[in-house]
Chain A
């Protein structure tokens, strides 16, 4: 049952080498024309439809990668402990907390941030602006992303469904009453556009 984990094992022939460099040399020599095995921490990520390849440290959260390294600063850190929703991003279609996800575990994933949603011209943006669904604005990107995820799967949400979808997003300025109004407006626009 206990299988020895071989770190520098050649994926083509199974031979074990002593180091990454030795492994590189082996693959180059023995398996000419084949790609090198991916080093640890190498991830491919699609962010707002753009493809990236990153070398990440294990202790980087997805938030840190997107916010600090790529520089998409829309997502915010309000609590940094998974209790506020301000860091919300859509990963593989689901709204999640990027501050509680490790970047190294996001290989091959598809990430949508508020910037992508805005640049796609999603009607949520306009309806948020029109309805003053923000005050200081710090939590707003998290709400926009969570709302967008809701509308992706529900074209005509009720007020209750909207509140449920946004129930993990905290707003200290307490703009809450405006969000169902804005989301419903955006939903209507999306339906009309079809």
Chain B
């Protein structure tokens, strides 16, 4: 097997050190890096034929809706369902105190909502939480009406919305069920990152500034709301689920009802109307699924549950909170110390320090970041494109504040501080060399390209100094950080050469949410195997049983890219082996090889044709190769009345890969790749309105695979980022805690008219940990761009606004014009 020096299959079996550069990259690429149309999902999506879980309808299906709490914090004391039961068309009402619901404590094991590990709770800790009852009826409308007929006695409790206030001793508990052993004053997880000597660091500074950032709640707004369908086929479970992590869902389901074997669970993962992380990171969606499973069992009918748009506002992005920042720096722009405390609202994960990015890609030696998670009566916050929002926001505002204080070009400040983990660029360059990467200055390359594209030198000016003929104030901003992708985990990918026509089928579970990762995998397989791209296909929305890391948009291209590549190389070996010497793999008899008197290393594949390298006129298409029929060929597909079965040798390979995460404490990944972003705005000083007129994104992705998909993450991320910075906030009524804008009119996301053009640039330094030196992109831009609005506003009006979203009201206030 290990005949070829570039053979990767052997590598898979080694102890894998994946923090070094790709030792065996491919030499030539035909499809990788190119612009290719959306071959896999484009036609289905554009023609309206793509099926989503929301579209699923099964015969006899019941529709289930759950009860929404009208209170921010309340317990159900009594619930009378008699009126609801009488409504014609109501088929089942599942109560929270049903014995089987009460014992569903395995729901939410890894990341349960608020620690209530049950499918349906009896107390609500946010307004709009789904508690108390799940009603299944013949139509959604009947289920909805039945909910309004429930007679419930609520015990209202005091609630808190602000994290700083809620963490003070003596405040009401926002979640008393969690603190059964006494008071922790609503404090949740705590994370601290501490490096160096803070006292020394601030003492060394020429200047120290402090500021406080406030980021209000904002959320994912996934177009398709949470939904799912459960059907029992005897004791087999068949599930349609909108969830980014199919494997997580399946493993959870396998723990239910005393345990369902994984091999008896079929999970359909149709196309998904985007989650952006959101609630797919947690088991929230599985609570209603559990209820659907129960109701389905008790009624004998398939059950579908659907959240309304209002109900999709049950949680938000993991950047909501108050950030208290202190930064010390020298007059030359070197930052000596940063200290930050983040009062983090309802973060459901072990949280990330607000100074994480300052740690990851600078030479700053003294850093302290504390993340104090506080529970308030709102939805939980989860990674929402992405969990790096807090450290990135802190990073941008620290860097740009320092530049502003010194009147320096922010890019100079960037270069002064670029590095990694407290080390400077010399150290970092040495790391690149040691690990076999090219030694390139990613930040400089990104900045050089970005500056030129943006025309920074003509655009930048002193704060508040440029008034346009329209009367508006012009401003520009810049920010940077490392290009990250933190895939950590394992992945397996199988590839099969189809018997009849020699096309390739990529087999792995699917959870498509739009990034066209599937297209990228096909590009990799096509180039590795030498097939035409049109001969490589991947059916993206069926669960094939081969575990693949999802969601891809969380930059899992590395891990999955590796396993596609491993599988491709093994398969290529196999094909060439069988082309030259089929009897080495055959079970009976010997067959005339397709390429007699050759060795596998004499052959190659190009454009789906196997050929002899020394004499390319000796060639055979893969299609012909697999069609060698009858007893004369090893890949025969002949079956004749079962009496004389043709030979069947499968051309099939499985690749797998494991990748360490970035935060492996034993061996963290030094960050080599960078990204840089530029924004131009105009501020109407009489109304406070901000117009984002131009954006330039520069991302060093190491190696581009699916070029148009990468660009899509750039402009898509920019528009989402600007939307988050300008408009997005979940508004709670201060008096009742009720969400006031749980709809798409009052919670605003950008329309097509709301932004100027976006110029996307991709850099390929090859310094990523993925195959061919790639690194991910999906999370990055949408996470970095929101903070960029603040320095742009500062450059326009000469005032810092640290309250997000930066609304006209806040601009006018900063200008003293309210």
Contact = CB atoms under 8 A, between A and B. Distances in A.
B641 interface: no
Given A83-B744, A144-B46, A73 B514 contact: no
Contacts of B755: 176
A59 interface: yes
Given A67-B55, A132-B708, A176 B752 contact: yes
A137 B50 contact: yes
Given A125-B43, A134-B45, A76 B273 contact: yes
Interface stretch (B205-213, B220-228, B617-625): B220-228
Contacts of B514: 134-137, 173
Contacts of B749: 170, 172
A45 interface: no
Interface string B691-730: 0000000000000000011011001111110010000000
Interface string A73-105: 111111111011010000000000000000000
Most chain A beta-carbon contacts within 10 A, residue among B51, B54, B308, B752: B752
A71 B224 CA distance: 18
Contacts of B221: 172
Interface string B261-275: 000000000011110
B743 A81 contact: yes
Interface in A142-183: 144, 163-164, 166-179
Given A74-B47, A138-B223, A170-B751, A132 B42 contact: yes
A118 B46 contact: yes
Contact of B43 (A115, A129, A139): A129
Contact of A173 (B44, B54, B274, B753): B274
Nearest to B751: A167
A131 B712 CA distance: 10
B338 to A, nearest CB: 32
Interface in B21-75: 37-39, 41-52, 54-55, 57
A130 interface: yes
Nearest to A177: B715
Nearest to A60: B141
B42 A78 contact: no
A136 B272 contact: yes
A138 to B, nearest CB: 3
A84 B744 contact: yes
A144 B42 CA distance: 12
A41 B43 CA distance: 36
A155 to B, nearest CB: 21
B745 interface: yes
Interface in B512-542: 512-516
A12 to B, nearest CB: 36
Given A125-B46, A144-B46, A174 B720 contact: yes
B515 to A, nearest CB: 7
A79 B42 contact: no
B461 interface: no
A190 interface: no
B222 A167 contact: no
A141 B274 contact: no
Contacts of A114: 46-48
A130 B42 CA distance: 8
B752 A118 contact: no
Interface centre among A76, A118, A136, A166 (most CB of B within 10 A): A136
Nearest to B746: A83
A interface, over-half SS: loop
Nearest to A174: B719
A135 B223 contact: no
A41 B38 CA distance: 43
Interface string A117-128: 111000011001
Report the contact-size class of chain B (Cβ under 8 Å from the partner): 35 or more
Contacts, number: 173
B812 interface: no
A79 B716 contact: no
Nearest to A115: B48
Contacts of A79: 309, 743-745
Nearest to B276: A172
Given A167-B752, A177-B715, A76 B47 contact: no
Contacts of A56: none
Given A79-B309, A118-B49, A136-B272, A176 B719 contact: yes
A129 B43 CA distance: 6
B438 interface: no
Contact of A81 (B309, B516, B723, B758): B309
Contacts of B50: 137
B228 to A, nearest CB: 16
B300 interface: no
Nearest to B553: A135
A10 interface: no
B668 interface: no
Most buried by B among A86, A138, A167: A138
A132 B712 contact: yes
Contacts of A137: 41, 44-46, 50, 271, 273, 514
B48 A118 contact: yes
Contacts of A78: 223-224, 273, 309, 744
A72 interface: yes
Nearest to B272: A136
Contacts of B716: 135, 173-175
Nearest to A69: B57
Contacts of B272: 136
A135 B723 CA distance: 18
Interface in B750-798: 750-753, 755, 757-758
Contact of A129 (B37, B48, B719): B37
A169 B48 contact: no
Nearest to B713: A135
A114 B43 CA distance: 12
Nearest to B56: A73
Contacts of A144: 46-48
A81 B744 contact: yes
Contact of A83 (B49, B57, B745): B745
Contacts of A86: 223
Contacts of B37: 129-132
Given A125-B46, A163-B753, A170-B751, A135 B57 contact: no
Contacts of A115: 47-49
A125 B38 CA distance: 11
Contacts of B719: 174, 176
Nearest to B745: A83
Given A71-B57, A113-B48, A138 B743 contact: no
B54 A74 contact: no
B274 A81 contact: no
A102 B220 CA distance: 30
A67 B51 CA distance: 12
A68 interface: yes
A83 to B, nearest CB: 4
Contacts of B46: 114, 118, 124-125, 128-129, 133-134, 137, 140-141, 144
A135 B515 contact: yes
B511 to A, nearest CB: 11
Most chain A beta-carbon contacts within 10 A, residue among B38, B39, B54, B755: B38
Contacts of B271: 136-138
A174 B47 contact: no
Smallest CB-CB A-B distances: 3 pairs: A74-B48, A137-B45, A138-B273
8 contacts: A73-B55, A76-B52, A78-B309, A115-B47, A132-B709, A132-B712, A135-B515, A172-B276
Interface of A: 59, 67-68, 71-81, 83-84, 86, 113-115, 117-119, 124-125, 128-141, 144, 163-164, 166-179
Given A74-B47, A125-B46, A168-B751, 9 more contacts: A76-B223, A76-B224, A78-B744, A114-B48, A131-B37, A132-B708, A137-B44, A174-B717, A174-B719
Interface of B: 37-39, 41-52, 54-55, 57, 141, 220-224, 271-274, 276, 308-309, 512-516, 708-709, 711-712, 715-720, 723, 743-745, 749-753, 755, 757-758
